[in-house]
């Protein structure tokens, strides 16, 4: 039997590619796809990116791809992976130093009292039930979490909100918004309304960072699927500032 070899023409990646060069690849993470391997052993974006690089560039052996940051499984949107160890180290250093700017769009149940605000809490993760809780600073495992939010548009029982993260904690946006009684639409775990097809209304729409080699400031924007609920209730093209 003749072996059929994979090649770039025979493989269509399951993710969108926003940018690619010799050092980095910026992709769109589909919702409900893990960003890296985990205990579930499910197919994940990290392995998909490795497969894409291996096939496209016909690389033998194990292909290097570096995980720089994470998105929770239910969250879709913009992610960057490194294609070299040098790029990975520099991007990771930039992430830790605050060079990365990460903005999200979310639809909340209800509308916050203040149009703009900053939420600061300590969060603790329960590894048994994979839930995150607001806690006191003195509790074991407590980690500081901070974000800024801005209400973009309100429609009836729901509001479109932009969130800028200052820290990157597990379930951070979901827990902190639920903490002010405005959970994310579709987030049944933290008190949100039931969503169509079980999708969470949380999307990493803007990612900005310095290129690890050229130092050029890079900015990538990708809006959530405008034809899907609850996003289609809002005029994203007019509400979200695209520069």
| Structural domain boundaries enclosing 34 | 16-233
Q: What is the pLDDT of residue 236?
A: 87
**Span 206-242, pLDDT tens digits:** 999 999 999 999 999 999 999 998 999 998 877 666 5
Ranges of H-type helices in the chain: 45-56, 85-97, 172-179, 236-239
Number of domains the chain contains: 1
Output the domain CATH number for residue 109: 3.30.2350.10
Is position 192 within any domain?
A: yes
Is position 5 within any domain?
A: no
- The proportion of the chain whose per-residue pLDDT surpasses 90, expressed as a percent, equals 79
Closest to 204 measured CA to CA, from 180, 172, 243: 172
Is position 240 within any domain?
A: no
Is position 243 within any domain?
A: no
Contact indicator for 106, 173 with CB cutoff of 8 Å:
yes
Is position 33 within any domain?
A: yes
Question: Is the overall model pTM greater than 0.85, yes or no?
Answer: yes
**Span 50-88, pLDDT tens digits:** 999 999 999 988 899 999 999 999 999 999 999 999 999
Look at phi and psi of residue 119 and say left if phi exceeds 0, alpha if psi is from -120 to 50, else beta: beta
Residue 80, helix vs strand vs coil: strand
Is position 238 within any domain?
A: no
Catalytic residue among 72, 99, 113, 187: 72
Q: What is the C-alpha to C-alpha distance for residues 182 and 192, in angstroms, rounded to an integer?
A: 8
- DSSP designation for 61: S
Is 72 one of the catalytic residues? Answer: yes
Average the pLDDT over 17-43 and give the result.
Answer: 93
Is position 6 within any domain?
A: no
Q: What is the pLDDT of residue 195?
A: 54
For 183, counting Cβ atoms within 10 Å of its Cβ (0-12 exposed, 13-18 middle, 19+ buried), the class is buried
Query: In terms of C-beta distances under 8 Å and separation of at least 24 residues, what long-range contacts does 47-52 make, across chains too?
Result: 48/13, 48/14, 48/15, 49/13, 49/15, 49/25, 49/81, 51/11, 51/13, 52/11, 52/13
Q: What is the C-alpha to C-alpha distance for residues 141 and 113, in angstroms, rounded to an integer?
A: 31
Is position 44 within any domain?
A: yes
Q: What is the pLDDT of residue 197?
A: 54
């Amino acid at each position: 039997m003749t072996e059929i070899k994979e090649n770039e023409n025979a493989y269509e990646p399951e993710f969108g590619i926003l940018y690619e060069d010799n050092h980095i690849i910026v992709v769109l993470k589909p919702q409900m796809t893990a960003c890296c391997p985990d205990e579930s052993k499910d197919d994940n974006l990290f392995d998909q990116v490795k497969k894409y690089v291996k096939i496209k560039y016909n690389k033998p052996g194990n292909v290097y791809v570096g995980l720089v940051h994470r998105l929770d499984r239910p969250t879709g949107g913009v992610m960057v992976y490194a294609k070299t160890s040098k790029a990975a180290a520099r991007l990771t250093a930039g992430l830790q130093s605050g060079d990365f700017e990460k903005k999200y769009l979310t639809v909340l149940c209800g509308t916050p009292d203040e149009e703009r605000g900053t939420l600061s809490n300590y969060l603790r993760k329960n590894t048994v039930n994979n839930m995150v809780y607001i806690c006191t600073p003195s509790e074991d495992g407590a980690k500081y979490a901070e974000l800024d939010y801005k209400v973009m548009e309100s429609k009836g029982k729901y509001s479109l909100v932009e969130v800028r993260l200052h820290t990157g904690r597990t379930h951070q946006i979901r827990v902190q918004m639920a903490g002010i009684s405005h959970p994310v639409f579709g987030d049944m775990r933290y008190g949100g309304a039931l969503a169509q097809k079980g999708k969470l209304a949380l999307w990493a729409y803007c990612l900005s960072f310095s290129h690890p080699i050229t130092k050029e400031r890079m900015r990538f924007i990708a809006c959530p699927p405008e034809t899907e609920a609850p996003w289609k209730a809002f005029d994203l093209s007019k509400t979200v500032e695209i520069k």
